[in-house]
Homo-oligomer: A and B are copies of this chain.
Amino acid sequence: MESEVSLSRKERERLARQDEILNAARQVFSEHGFKNATLDEIAEVAEFGKGTLYNYFKSKEELFVSIILRGIHHFQQFVEEAVNAKTSPRERVEAYIDAAFEFFKMNRQIFSILVLERSTLARSLNGDLFNQFCSEEAGLLDYLARLIGDGVKKKAFKKFDPAKAAEALFGLIHSIFIHAVMQPDAYDLNGNIEVIKKIFFEGIAASA
């Protein structure tokens, strides 16, 4: 009984091995996509036998979803921290956008999974796991919608349905992620961030 607050060595070791597997899987999934990735390759990269993977995860799907849910969590934590450092609604939304891209730059692998596969998840996953994903994603959207709704209340933004505006901003961010993932070199990421910020806040129409 040497564990008081923390986990026993065995438990820690088990978690460390699970982490190894998750990292290997993230790499392989991000290279080949869910369907094309094979458990044989994941096992090889993780330096475990294939059978061992099944001591840690019930199925390929569950392994995949674990990676995605982890990624979403880290992302949400990261942007919340950045947003909380600001006070005015506009600054907070800008902080959100900046943090999103900051996180993207640091976590390309998880994003190439999230961004490229998101739209086909419904077909890749069984109902339960897909619903888990959906509610996590809805959480992300809700948070952004609250940020925007706050700005609307404070008259910093025009009268928009916050949920719809959040969806739109997601779409703008998403489109840049996709382009950046598909042409990793020679993509003017920073320039594009400025463009979508300017469009989202000011629009393209010339002032009257």
Contacts and interface: CB of A to CB of B under 8 A. Distances in A.
A158 B192 contact: no
B170 A175 contact: yes
Number of copies: 2
A179 B119 CA distance: 9
A16 interface: no
B123 A206 contact: no
A192 B204 CA distance: 18
Q: Chain B CB within 10 Å — which of A178, A179, A196, A206 has the most?
A: A206
A190 to B, nearest CB: 12
A41 to B, nearest CB: 14
A206 B206 CA distance: 15
Interface stretch (A6-14, A20-28, A160-168): A160-168
B199 A205 contact: no
Given A120-B117, A201-B204, A204-B201, A168 B172 contact: yes
A182 B120 CA distance: 10
B160 A204 contact: yes
Interface in A103-158: 115-120, 122-123, 148, 151, 155-158
A33 interface: yes
A189 B77 CA distance: 31
A90 interface: yes
A110 to B, nearest CB: 15
Interface of A: 32-33, 35-36, 90, 115-120, 122-123, 148, 151, 155-158, 160-161, 164-165, 167-168, 170-172, 174-176, 178-179, 182, 191-192, 195-196, 198-207
